[in-house]
Amino acid sequence: MTALHHHSHSHGHTPEQITRRLRRAGLRPTRQRVALAGLLFKRGDRHISAEILQEEAQAMRVPVSLATIYNTLHQFTEAGLLREVAVDGARTYFDTNVSDHHHFFVEGDNELIDIPDAVGLTEVPTPPEGMEITAVEVVVRVRRTDA
């Protein structure tokens, strides 16, 4: 078992469980937040953008405004339920896997894929004077081999 499967169903995803989880995180379990949390955490590890999440919400007949989508994604991130991954200049991705891991970024598809092995650095660099490390991000850019 790798770091990737850290939270495989340690919470569940019934409305009640989600509600409890939000409350634990200090967030009011509103209609929208419960619905979005349901979408985000129902499946396993996901890399989702605001736009995709809104599409999924609409498909589930839970219309949520984009503003609320963004609010929610950021609140969830602050609460430690999501991890923000900035790798593409354009879009921002939110990773439902908050454990320590890194990513492949598929150029062209603009898709993120978890790196299934624990990759580390040969040597953690010493930060400049007066600075402390907050995170180490490794992104391995890949592209489809033109078959």
Partner DNA sequence: ATTTGTGCAAATCGTTTGCATCTGA
Partner DNA sequence: TCAGATGCAAACGATTTGCACAAAT
Contacts with DNA by CB under 7 A lie at 23, 27-33, 49-51, 63-68, 70-72, 74-75, 89-92
Is residue 140 within the footprint of its own copies (CB under 8 A)?
A: yes
Alpha-carbon gap, residue 12 to 38, rounded angstroms: 10
Q: What are the φ/ψ torsions at residue 113 (nearest 5 degrees)? A: -135, 135
The only residue of 51, 86, 100, 110 in contact with its own copies, by rule CB under 8 A = 86
Is residue 127 within the footprint of its own copies (CB under 8 A)?
A: yes
Is residue 125 within the footprint of its own copies (CB under 8 A)?
A: yes
> Which of the choices DNA, its own copies, none does residue 50 contact, using the CB cut-off of 5 to 8 A by kind?
DNA
Secondary structure in 3-state letters for 33-45: HHHHHHHHHHCCC
Between residues 52 and 115, which has the closer beta carbon with respect to its own copies?
115
Alpha-carbon gap, residue 77 to 75, rounded angstroms: 5
Alpha-carbon gap, residue 90 to 59, rounded angstroms: 24
Alpha-carbon gap, residue 99 to 5, rounded angstroms: 9
Is residue 80 within the footprint of its own copies (CB under 8 A)?
A: no
| Residue 138 tokens, joined | 């490794």
Min. distance of Cβ 50 from its own copies in angstroms?
12
| Single-letter residue type at 21 | R
> Which of the choices DNA, its own copies, none does residue 12 contact, using the CB cut-off of 5 to 8 A by kind?
none
**Helical (H) or strand (E) element with 112:** strand 111-114
> Which of the choices its own copies, DNA, none does residue 120 contact, using the CB cut-off of 5 to 8 A by kind?
its own copies
Would you tell me which residues interact with its own copies (CB under 8 A)? Answer: 86-89, 92, 102, 104, 106-107, 113, 115-117, 119-125, 127-128, 130-145, 147
